[in-house]
A and B are shown apart, each in its own frame.
Chain A
Amino acid sequence: MFYRENGQFKSTYREDQQILGIRQDRWFIFGLIAFALLVVPYWGSDYMFRAILIPFLIVSLAAIGLNLLVGYCGQISLGHAAFMAIGAYAAYNIVVHFPGLNFIVVLVLAGLVSALVGILFGLPSLQIKGLYLGVATLAAQFFVDWVFARVKWFTNYSSSGGVSTAPVEMFGWTIDTPMEKYVFILVVVMVFTLMAKNLVRGHIGRSWMAMRDMDVAAEVIGIRPMYAKLTAFAVSAFYAGVAGAMWGFLHLGSWEPAAFSINFSLNLLFMIIIGGMGSILGSFIGAAFIVLLPLALSQALPLLNNLGLKVDTAMASHLEFMIFGALIVFFLIVEPLGIARLWAVAKEKLRLWPFPH
């Protein structure tokens, strides 16, 4: 009843090509952005920003990056946290050696360094596919872990092997309160999301999808596999690198290589599988699922104590793992294509509601 596009006619190519073709969607997204930018900063608490929104946004960006590679181009990467680590350490070293550089420049440079390494580790994809490629990308994870733990230069010879960063400054603005960090990250994530959305519906995204669906056919119609695959690796690693730099500088503040461990890589992969492969929206939903659900569970489970059940912290923690695992299985069975697909189906239904036939 409320969600249908009757009477919305497109009379120009421009209108036909817009990202949000339906007016209701447009209102919803603009409303959401306005809410996130104008209302949340005044209403949110420190806990809200530091424990929920900031990790969620940064991880979403990394998930978008991984989705470009895995969901759009069909190249599996099991070591994506490694590219985040590269972004974080690159940003750290840039700041150490060129103090006073604008943080946006630092972010972009960190992303570029990560993209270069991404291309390097993407080279095996020209020869091998599928699971074999997955194993090859695992090498990135272990190699990067090893390098940052062992080569002292990267950590500026810190005695403990961990690095710590100064508050981020740019244009005379010091980003140090959680609210400021949130706003900055939100803007960065919005810009990069828009870029990703445009990439995947443009020439390059189509060539990625052609590679994903059938590489031989894609080659026959004139798509260069090397170019398509390596650009996917580069762009994906760039996103991960930017996300990693923000994770280090704006979320953790100080970190060690373990902050970007293989667990993080696997979590990113779970995010896009649960959220929806080949869907930008799916990256956000998946990130929300993986980041927020355990927190919600760990907060909600001790409430069972009020009902007379005895749930101590250890029990709650075990239960959290069990329920979380069960929910993953549940969603994969209900909708193997991800929660984003569920959302798309819901939208179809809504168009017909309340008179399906």
Chain B
Amino acid sequence: MLKHLALTAASVTALTMALSAPLVSTAHAQAKEQFFPVLSYRTGAYAPNGTPFANGYVDYLKMLNARDGGVGGVKITYEECETGYATDRGVECYERLKGKGPTGAAVFHTLSTGITFALTDKSFTDKIPIITAGYGRADSVDGQVFKWNFPLGGTYWGAADMLIQHVGKKEGGVDKLKGKKIALVYHDSPYGKEPIALLQERAKMHGYELSLLPVTHPGVEQKATWLQIRQNRPDYVFLWGWGVMNGTALKEAVAVGYPRDKMYGVWWAGAEPDVRPAGDGAKGYNALTFMAPAGQGKVHQDVLKHVHDKGQGTGPKAEVGEVLYNRGLVAAMMSVEGVKRAQTKHGKKPLTGEQVQWGLENLALDQKALAALGFAGYADNISTSCVDHEGGSVAKIHTWDGNKWVVGAEQYTADQQIIKPMIKASAVKYAAEKKVAARDCAKELASK
């Protein structure tokens, strides 16, 4: 028994040591480094999608260090923390990483709507910006309430809006949608539920019939859902899935004989890991693109040259240029550009989250600037302001031909006339619930 006691004592000591470690590590020397936290998930049901994104994100940071020696002469450091897509672990990772580096974390990408919701509350006191490029809370576009959230490049309300525009166009005008049936097959979480509000709003305008079909986490059990689709035969199916759910949905669609070319995925349901498990069955399936479609541009050459050719690649080389990998690159580019913009105001030194917030709020990336970064054709314009934290939202539709994604010609823009009032109403409700004092953007501009 004494042996056991000794063992227990030893494990307790180890535990206390491990717990006190983060306290010690905060006392860093003032190095000229900018710290980028990386919340990732390489395990669990969403790992097939989380891994390429994380690899792209980290590869871009590695490439900048190798090619330019960091950002504006400040070396980039980063640390990954595995969230497993779970909110509580995400919050723990955030707490663990937010104080690292000489000035603390520059900016967080949560890569999960649930984690975004939890961290948004904390952002007001911690003063660290959160980029949710193409996900997160749709209402956080309103920078007057959500000072620290940046849903750069698009929200789910925008995405749903573009899909309705697209199917409307296919029918020969959105007014032709009257009486049509649209089914939303969604991940039963805040992520999947976000678009519902907009789809219902549009349903009121155009008179289509919306049916909501939730799929519970992780989404491998969808027989009942697709049985309903077989019975109702909706004209279109919108797929709002993530991870294994997407591949399963496509296989079930094959099983019940629902035409894949009537299926439209959000941009998180339109990458290689989603369609490959379904094999040939995925042919004809459509999804939105977000910023970068699949393929390689100048930035990829740099990544290959400075990272992969030196054997420093985070993931397999073949993955460079895949949809989610590219999205990781773009996400990293957004973080770094935010820091770069902030450096123009605060100087080329390690910046705090609060300083980076200004940079993100004053981004002006047009095609010329993006081309200079090597992102020509792999990112859309972003220009943010105090009022608008989205900075523009455009997307195309791409179709899986069995081997690769083929990008359609038509480009869609979210109809702000519908979305703006919804954002305003939702943000005001949030501010009231949370007792957040809204900023006055006009005043802030005037005082500068």
Interface residues of chain A, those whose CB is within 8 Å of chain B, are 45-48, 50-52, 55, 149, 159-162, 164-167, 176-177, 252-256, 258-259, 261, 292-293, 295-296, 298-300, 312-314, 316-318, 334-335, 339, 342, 345-346, 349
Interface string of B96-129 (1 = CB under 8 A from A): 1011000000000000011001101110010000
Tell me the bound Cα distance from A36 to B155 in angstroms. Answer: 44
Chain A neighbourhood of B87, CB < 8 A: 252, 255, 258-259
Q: Is B289 positioned at the interface, with any CB of A under 8 Å from its CB?
A: no
Beyond A160-B137, A300-B14, 4 additional contacts (C-beta under 8 Å) are A46-B99, A47-B96, A161-B190, A292-B15
The answer to whether B99 and A47 have CB atoms under 8 Å apart is yes
User: Total A-B pairs in contact (CB under 8 Å)?
Assistant: 127
CA distance A334 to B114 in the complex (A): 39
Residues of B within 8 A of A346 (CB): 1, 5
In the bound complex, CA of A255 to CA of B189 (Å)? 10
Complex interface: chain B residues within 8 A of A253 (CB):
118, 121-122
Task: Name the residue on A nearest B47 (C-beta).
Answer: A314
Tell me whether B23 and A48 are in contact (CB under 8 A). yes
**What would 19 A/B residue contacts be, using CB atoms closer than 8 Å?**
A45-B23, A48-B23, A50-B91, A55-B88, A149-B188, A176-B125, A177-B125, A253-B122, A256-B117, A258-B114, A293-B15, A296-B15, A296-B18, A299-B21, A312-B42, A313-B40, A313-B81, A316-B82, A317-B42
Also in contact, A166 and B1, with CB within 8 A (given A176-B125, A314-B43): no
B65 proximal to A (CB < 8 A): no
CA distance A52 to B91 in the complex (A): 11
Of all chain A residues, which has the CB nearest B51? A314
Residue pair B118, A313 in contact (C-beta under 8 Å): no
Do A166 and B435 touch (CB < 8 A)?
Answer: yes
Q: Is B92 an interface residue (CB 8 A)?
A: yes
Contact with A along B1-22 (1 / 0, CB 8 A): 1101100100000110011011
Stretch at the interface among B193-201, B226-234, B349-357, B437-445: B193-201
Q: B433 in the interface, Cβ–Cβ < 8 Å?
A: yes
Cα A335 to Cα B430 in complex, Å, equals 50
Question: What CA separation (Å) do A15 and B437 show in the bound complex?
Answer: 55
Contacts of A300 in B (CB 8 A): 14, 18
User: Does B26 make an interface contact (CB < 8 A)?
Assistant: yes
Q: Which of B40, B96, B117, B435 lies at the interface centre, i.e. has the most chain A CB atoms within 10 A of its CB?
A: B117
Interfacial chain B residues near A261, Cβ < 8 Å: 217
Check B43–A318 contact: CB distance below 8 A: yes
Please judge, given known A-B contacts A313-B80, A317-B43, A346-B5, whether A164 and B194 are in contact too, CB under 8 Å: no
**A45 CA / B51 CA spacing, docked (Å):** 31
Are A159's CB and B193's CB within 8 A?
Answer: yes
Contact for A52 among B19, B80, B190, B193, CB less than 8 A: B19
Contact call B117/A164, Cβ cutoff below 8 A: yes
Residues A51 and B91 in contact in the complex (CB < 8 Å), given A296-B18, A349-B1: yes
B214 at the interface (CB under 8 A from A): yes
The reply to whether A51 and B189 contact each other, CB–CB distance below 8 Å, is no
Tell whether, in the assembled complex, residue A299 and residue B22 are in contact, meaning their CB atoms are under 8 Å apart: yes
CA distance A299 to B20 in the complex (A): 11
Q: Within 8 Å CB of B81, what residues of A?
A: 313
Whether B434 sits at the interface, judged by CB under 8 Å, is yes
Assembled-state Cα–Cα distance A261/B47 (Å): 20
A residues near B40, Cβ cutoff 8 Å: 313
Contact assessment for A164 and B430 in the assembled complex, using a CB-CB cutoff below 8 Å: yes
Q: How large is the interface on B (under 10, 10 to 19, 20 to 34, 35 or more residues)?
A: 35 or more
Instruction: Specify the chain B residue showing the minimal Cβ separation from A321.
Output: B43
Min CB distance A135 to B, Å, is 19
Q: A50-B91, A51-B91 in contact; A252/B118 too (CB < 8 A)?
A: yes
Could you say which residues of chain A place their CB within 8 Å of the CB of B80?
Answer: 312-313
Are the CB atoms of A334 and B4 closer together than 8 Å? yes
Q: How far is the CA of A295 from the CA of B80 in the complex (A)?
A: 15
B426 at the interface (CB under 8 A from A): yes
Is there a chain A Cβ closer than 8 Å to B265's Cβ?
A: no
Determine whether the beta carbon of A149 is less than 8 Å from that of B194: no
B434 in contact with A166 (CB, 8 Å):
yes
> Whole-angstrom distance from the CB of B3 to the nearest CB of chain A?
10
Q: Decide: B114 and A256 in contact? CB cutoff 8 A.
A: yes
**For A165, A335, A346, which residue has the most chain B Cβ atoms within 10 angstroms?**
A346
Q: B95: CB under 8 A from chain A?
A: yes
A288 nearest CB neighbor, chain B only: B15
Answer yes or no: B84 CB below 8 A from chain A CBs. Answer: yes
A299 touching B91, Cβ below 8 Å = no
The 7 closest A-B pairs by CB, nearest first: A314-B42, A159-B197, A253-B121, A296-B18, A160-B190, A161-B193, A51-B92
Which of A52, A255, A313, A342 contacts B8 (CB under 8 A)? A342
Query: Using Cβ atoms and an 8 Å threshold, which residues of chain B touch A164?
Result: 117, 121, 430, 433-434
> What residues of B have a CB within 8 angstroms of the CB of A50 in the complex?
91, 95
A255: chain B residues at CB < 8 Å are: 87, 117-118
A314 touches which of B4, B82, B122, B430 (Cβ 8 Å): B82
- Given A256-B189, A313-B82, A314-B42, A51 and B23 touching (CB < 8 A)? no
A160 CA / B114 CA spacing, docked (Å) = 10
Q: Is the CB of B96 within 8 A of A166?
A: no
Once the chains are docked, how many angstroms separate the CA of A45 from the CA of B193? 35
Q: Could you tell me if A256 and B190 are in contact, using CB atoms closer than 8 angstroms?
A: yes
The minimal Cβ–Cβ distance linking B190 to chain A, given in whole angstroms, is 4
The reply to whether A258 and B217 form a contact with Cβ atoms under 8 Å apart is yes
Partner of A45, one of B26, B47, B434: B26
Contacts of B430 in A (CB 8 A): 164
Instruction: Write the nearest CB–CB distance from B139 to chain A, whole angstroms.
Output: 9
- Chain A residue nearest to B194 (CB atoms) is A160
Nearest-Cβ distance from residue B438 to partner chain A, whole angstroms: 15
**What residues of chain B lie closer than 8 Å to A45, measured between beta carbons?**
22-23, 26, 99
Q: From residue A247, how far is it (CB to closest CB) to chain B in Å?
A: 10
Q: Give the nearest-CB partner of B426 in chain A.
A: A159
Tell me, in angstroms, the Cα distance from A166 to B18 when the chains sit together. 33
A55 to B88 Cα, complex, angstroms: 9
**Interface contact A51-B118, CB-CB below 8 Å:** no
- Complex Cα–Cα for A166 and B197 (A): 23
User: With A159-B197, A258-B114 in contact, do A295 and B92 touch (Cβ < 8 Å)?
Assistant: yes
Contacts of A51 in B (CB 8 A): 91-92, 95-96
Contact B15 A167 (CB under 8 A): no
A160 to B434 CA separation, bound complex (whole angstroms): 16
- Min distance, Cβ A99 to any Cβ of chain B, angstroms: 10
Q: How far is the CB of B365 from chain A (nearest CB, A)?
A: 29
